[in-house]
């Protein structure tokens, strides 16, 4: 880390004790910015780094709700509005027991640079709750969402802060949240939330966008070395929205995707994941991944212990959660000859694993670049809502492809410009940072 950045980093860690995920996200960005502060010392004089690491607003609130038996439960809600230099805060809501302020701040910090890379006029934010939707009825989830929005509504708006979904928050939850916002405000403000249903303001391709975009980015990386997804053996972690559409797109491009996972374990299907069956088990029946293996017969096997990264493959797409791929996993993947890794989830690869991939000259696409397709398409949804328009699937998918290619090229060109050719992590961090820093400098000390 550059000597001028180290004391800033130490101050950030001291100011945010115990928030290890946020610390990790800050370190990853700071590790890339040495050449930037050497070239632009005025950014240090203006304390841009100190400001960009301090959220503009942090909101924490109580969420009381009742279950189907009439018992009262209390959860904690969060919204961290991190940076609005480029536009209204934009980022998802995560409902998961692991959620606490440090997780939300890590996600929001990543979102600043991810959103900047899309080229769309959106700032960075994130939110959520430690509520666990698994095993809850639709009625319980509705009551929780209504209580959550009863507090959150006063902090959001299409020109202020535009939440979307994340882990535990899909179309059902967005519907309940939007309904309560409309009920309280007496406004049909379509672009206050993205990820809406297609019949009431949602965008085609939004559901597919994060997974599709991750594969699009990985394909661009592979093409720089004269390769493609065609014929690759692909490892995917997770079995949610991002994972299933990453599988879908990789299969469209001629790859064989052999793994999927959930919190109970993973499946290996050497013939290739049967996507319709996976969706039936996970999305319709909300079952466990082991049920996929059972119904696939002898062609697939379920493994309760270990990791999808134990399986031989040439392309790895971590699409589950943060820090799921560590140094030991990276060594196994390298031993199996992995060519490329692209992060479909947010920061799923630890710092050690990232370093090992880069030292081995493996193509590595960081989440803030590789999985930016989701938020990019959310911004396209906002455009459609603002113009009272609706675009075709083909047109929106084409726009997504253009955005992902632009992100890839921006990262590659920026890394080259700063003397780190092929380093997509540095390229993404520097390009995103410079765009936000330029806006912050232009707007004065705020």
Whether the Cβ atoms of residue 346 and residue 268 lie closer than 8 Å to each other: no
Report d(CA 303, CA 287) in Å as an integer: 16
**Around Cβ 224, how many Cβ atoms within 10 Å?**
11
SS3 342: strand
Angstrom CA distances, 73 to 130, 143, 241, 273, 444, stand at: 12, 11, 28, 39, 44
Would you say 254 is a known binding-site residue? no
What residue ranges in 284-403 does DSSP mark as E strands? 301-303, 315-317, 340-342, 363-365
**What sections of 260-350 are H helices per DSSP?**
275-279, 289-296, 327-335
Q: Is 385 annotated among the ligand-binding residues?
A: no
Q: Annotation-wise, does 263 bind a ligand?
A: no
Instruction: List the catalytic residue out of 105, 126, 282, 435.
Output: 126
**Residue 114 annotated as binding?**
yes
φ and ψ at residue 241, rounded to 5 degrees = -55, -50
Give DSSP secondary structure letters for 295-307.
Answer: HHGGG-EEESSS-
Residue 307 in marked binding region = no
Whether 126 is a known active-site residue: answer yes
Q: Is 257 helix (H, G, I), strand (E, B) or coil?
A: strand
| Residue 196 is assigned to a ligand binding site | no
Per-residue tokens: 209: 């966008």
Binding site annotation covers 98?
no
CB atoms under 10 Å from CB of 150, counted, come to: 17
What is the Cα 87 distance to its own chain's centre? 19
- Write the DSSP symbol of residue 3: T
Q: Residues at the annotated binding site?
A: 90, 111, 114, 165, 210, 241, 378
Q: Residues at the annotated binding site for NAD(+)?
A: 210, 241
Catalytic residue set: 126
Q: Residues at the annotated binding site for substrate?
A: 90, 111, 114, 165, 378
């Amino acid at each position: 880390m550059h000597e001028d950045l180290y004391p800033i980093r130490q101050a950030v860690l001291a100011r945010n004790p115990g928030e290890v995920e946020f610390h990790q996200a800050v370190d990853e960005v700071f590790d890339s910015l040495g050449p930037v502060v050497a070239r632009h010392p005025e950014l240090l004089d203006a304390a841009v780094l100190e400001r960009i690491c301090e959220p503009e607003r942090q909101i924490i609130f109580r969420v009381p709700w009742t279950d189907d038996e009439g018992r009262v439960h209390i959860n904690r809600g969060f919204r961290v509005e991190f940076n609005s230099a480029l536009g209204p805060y934009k980022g998802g809501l995560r409902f998961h027991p692991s959620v606490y302020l440090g997780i939300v701040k890590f996600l929001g910090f990543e979102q600043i640079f991810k959103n900047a890379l899309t080229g769309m006029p959106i700032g960075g934010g994130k939110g959520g709750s430690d509520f666990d939707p698994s095993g809850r009825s639709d009625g319980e989830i509705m009551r929780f969402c209504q209580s959550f929005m009863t507090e959150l509504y006063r902090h959001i708006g299409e020109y202020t802060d535009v939440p979307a979904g994340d882990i535990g928050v899909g179309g059902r939850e967005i519907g309940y949240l939007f309904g309560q916002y409309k009920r309280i405000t007496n406004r049909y403000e379509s672009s206050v939330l993205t990820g809406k249903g297609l019949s009431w303001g949602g965008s085609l391709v939004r559901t597919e966008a994060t997974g599709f975009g991750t594969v699009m980015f990985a394909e661009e990386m592979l093409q720089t070395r004269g390769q493609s997804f065609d014929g690759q053996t692909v490892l995917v972690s997770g079995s949610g929205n991002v994972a299933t559409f990453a599988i879908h797109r990789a299969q469209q491009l001629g790859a064989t995707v052999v793994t999927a996972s959930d919190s109970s374990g993973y499946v290996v299907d050497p013939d290739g994941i049967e996507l319709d069956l996976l969706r039936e088990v996970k999305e319709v029946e909300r079952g466990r991944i082991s049920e996929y293996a059972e119904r696939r017969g002898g062609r697939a096997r379920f493994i309760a212990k270990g990791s999808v990264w134990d399986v031989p493959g040439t392309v790895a797409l971590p699409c589950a959660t943060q820090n799921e791929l560590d140094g030991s996993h990276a060594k196994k993947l390298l031993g199996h000859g992995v060519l490329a890794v692209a992060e479909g989830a947010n920061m799923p690869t630890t710092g050690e694993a990232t370093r090992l991939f880069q030292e081995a000259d493996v193509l590595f696409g960081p989440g803030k670049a590789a999985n930016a397709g989701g938020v990019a398409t959310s911004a396209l949804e906002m455009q459609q809502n603002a113009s009272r328009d609706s675009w075709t699937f083909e047109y929106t998918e084409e726009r997504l492809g253009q955005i992902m290619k632009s992100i890839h090229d921006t990262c590659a060109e920026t890394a080259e410009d700063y003397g780190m050719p092929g380093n997509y992590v540095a390229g993404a961090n520097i390009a995103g940072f410079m765009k936000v820093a330029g806006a912050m400098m232009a707007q004065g000390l705020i």
